[in-house]
Amino acid sequence: MKLTTSLIQVALALLTVALLLIEVAANPIQDTATPSDTTPSHPYPITPIRFEGSIRGIHLNTTGTIEEIYAEAAKDPQFFAF
């Protein structure tokens, strides 16, 4: 009885080690998402915002989407200086 218990414990330990050492190569998945697939769907309208402040030390007083405001700030040569 004691021998059987010891053999079972050894077998389980070896099985655990074997499972930890097994590597399964994952096949890469090609990204096939289109922009419409990744566009967030929410019930809120996307509207321009008014921004008055500074981004990286560049004073802005403008209206637009966040992308447009960031693009406006990027027109200043100091925007990319760190």
Q: Largest Cα–Cα distance in the chain?
A: 83
Hey, what amino acid is at 28? P
Query: In the block, which residue shows the tokens 């998945």?
Result: 29
Query: Could you tell me if residue 61 is inside a domain?
Result: yes
**Total domain count, the chain:** 1
Q: What is the residue range of 56's domain?
A: 47-82
Residue 66 pLDDT exceeds 60: yes
Query: Could you tell me if residue 27 is inside a domain?
Result: no
Query: Could you tell me if residue 73 is inside a domain?
Result: yes
Distance CA(82)–CA(66), nearest Å, equals 21
Kindly report, residue by residue over 4-46, the tens digit of the pLDDT: 888 899 999 988 888 888 876 666 666 665 555 556 666 667 7
Distance CA(68)–CA(64), nearest Å, equals 6
Hey, what amino acid is at 8? I
Query: Could you tell me if residue 59 is inside a domain?
Result: yes
